[in-house]
Structure 1
Amino acid sequence: MITAGVDLAAEPKGTALAVIEWGEAPRGGGGGGLARATLTSLTLGVADELIADTAERVDKLGIDCALGWPDEFVQFVVAHHGGETFDPAVDGGIDWRRTLAYRETDRVVQERTGRWPLSVSTDRLGLTAMRAAGLLARIAERGIAVDRSGAGLVVEIYPVASLRLWGLVTTGYRADVARRAELIDDLLAAAPWFDVRGFRSLMLGSTDAFDAVVAALATRSAAIGLADEPGERMLARARREGWVALPTGSLQSLVEPG
């Protein structure tokens, strides 16, 4: 199996792409049949074309970015743009506005992690989401079916939430190189089966690169059925809004025999 993770930014600068190959360790040699993972490539300054090319050769592609907007937000903007009269009584205050700001999957993320992700409607993430929409179109042009719920090749990934759910401390790692070094060491200690080859220095020097690697790991969770899925009740909504595939197992579960 091959998984890829994209830490998407509004432009190629700040965008990173990681590819991990998963293989079986020889039985009888101390590996117990556990899978092994090798980071085969890690690239910075990535344009859409390379991501679309990569989509054609991997089994699952994880993108760290919202893949859609909240239904309520879309309906509100369309009505407002069309000049429909806005009833002030509809504005129920901040709680009502949060229905426009957050997707259903964002609420699940908050419930599982205790933290709200960035709002695709009201934060700068919106610029990146616009790029993501174009990227999904490029991938679809290659004949690859795109399902924003994560059921197809592409899945939405949230690296920092994945790390927290795996029991790793993420405080300060994005801004502090020393903290990131500690986190990389903790990650590799928890996943001794993961070979990052010569890419550790790039992971250390670039938060984008590190997040892309984590995204590629978390994408494995989705690929083997160990990640949150929207369920039948939320499926149609998830296909419009996108759905974050949060890991439901440990790091070790990524390599345990099925």
Structure 2
Amino acid sequence: MRTIGVDLAAGVPGTALAEIVWSGGGARLARLEVGVDDAAIVASVGVGAWLGLDCPLGWPDAFVDFVRAHHVGAEPELGPVDGGADWRRGLVYRRTDVVVRERIGRWPLSVSTDRLGVTALRGAGLLRRLAATGFPVDRAGDGRLFEVYPGGALRIWGFDTRRYRVDATRRADLLAVLRQRAPWFNVGPHASVAVASADAFDAMIAALSTRAAALGRFSRPGADDVEVARREGWVALPEGEFEELARP
């Protein structure tokens, strides 16, 4: 099995890609690069790979409806605009974001009100490019594409994630603990890249998280959420222990 993890950014310089090859009860980090364009991401999938994107795959239904109504001067389905926090929560967060908060105790960034939305615009284009090659694109995680959340996955697996995005020393410490807990994971010559770049580190975690999703070990949308997830996207938060990832 090959899993591809992509830490997507609005532009090429901040985008990182990791490829992990799984076989014989072990895993090898075969590739870890920063500065990856859409064409390279599409090409990396090749035949049979599983892809995890650290990027929202859609926008909240309520936000889309609100913008559409506002654009034509119609009354939004949410009713009169009052601007309060409770009123706008449905515009800010997707159904999957609510589930993420329930699971890890914190809100992810909002795709509709944070700068993350710019990255999601690129992600939307990337999904179309993937689909054009015949790669199965299903935003609810029914296929070989998953929306992943590296920081959330690390918390679920019991790692200390404090300041790892902004401190290379913390990333080095985190990588050391990760390798200790997973002696089956061969990082090879890529450790220095993972420590030097937070984007590369997250791409590596995205590829590990994609392994859990590919094995079906993730929180799937419930029956009432599937159709919403196919529009808004769904974060494939891992289930099970980190140490078990190499087990078929």
TM-score (norm 1): 0.93
Find the aligned partners of 2:16 and 2:222 in 1 and give their Cα distance. Answer: 30
Q: Does 1:71 align with 2:67?
A: no
Following superposition of structure 1 onto structure 2, how do residues 115-126 of structure 1 map, counting pairs within 5 Å? 115-126=106-117
* Counterpart in the other structure of 2:11: 11
CA shift digits 1:89-136 (9 cap, x unpaired): 453720121110000000000000001000000000000000000000
SS of residue paired to 1:138: helix
CA shift digits 1:26-63 (9 cap, x unpaired): xxxxxxxxx10000011110000010111223431000
Following superposition of structure 1 onto structure 2, how do residues 87-166 of structure 1 map, counting pairs within 5 Å? 89-91=80-82, 93-166=84-157
* Counterpart in the other structure of 1:215: 206
Gaps of 5+ in 1: 25-34
Find the aligned partners of 1:56 and 1:80 in 2 and give their Cα distance. Answer: 42
**Shift in alpha-carbon separation, 1:254–1:57, aligned structure 2, 3 A:** same
* Counterpart in the other structure of 2:181: 190
* Counterpart in the other structure of 1:31: none
Following superposition of structure 1 onto structure 2, how do residues 29-44 of structure 1 map, counting pairs within 5 Å? 35-44=25-34
SS of residue paired to 1:172: coil
Find the aligned partners of 1:130 and 1:41 in 2 and give their Cα distance. Answer: 26
Find the aligned partners of 1:231 and 1:9 in 2 and give their Cα distance. Answer: 29
* Counterpart in the other structure of 2:39: 49
SS of residue paired to 2:13: coil
The alignment of Structure 1 onto Structure 2 pairs a total of residues equal to: 247
Find the aligned partners of 2:30 and 2:9 in 1 and give their Cα distance. Answer: 22
SS of residue paired to 2:220: coil
* Counterpart in the other structure of 1:253: 244
Residue pair 1:3, 1:58 contacting (<8 A) in 2 also = no
| 1:85 Cα offset (Å) | 4.0
Find the aligned partners of 1:92 and 1:15 in 2 and give their Cα distance. Answer: 35
Q: Does 1:84 align with 2:88?
A: no
SS of residue paired to 1:238: helix
| 1:7 Cα offset (Å) | 0.2
SS of residue paired to 2:12: coil
TM-score (norm 2): 0.96
Find the aligned partners of 2:64 and 2:79 in 1 and give their Cα distance. Answer: 18
Letter in 1 for 2:2: I
Identical residues among aligned pairs (%):
55
Residue pair 1:73, 1:99 contacting (<8 A) in 2 also = yes
Gaps of 5+ in 2: none
SS of residue paired to 1:233: coil
Across the aligned residues of Structure 1 and Structure 2, the Cα RMSD in angstroms comes to: 1.3
- Name which of structure 1's ranges 147-156 and 238-247 shifts more when overlaid on structure 2: 147-156
| 1:88 Cα offset (Å) | 7.1
* Counterpart in the other structure of 1:178: 169
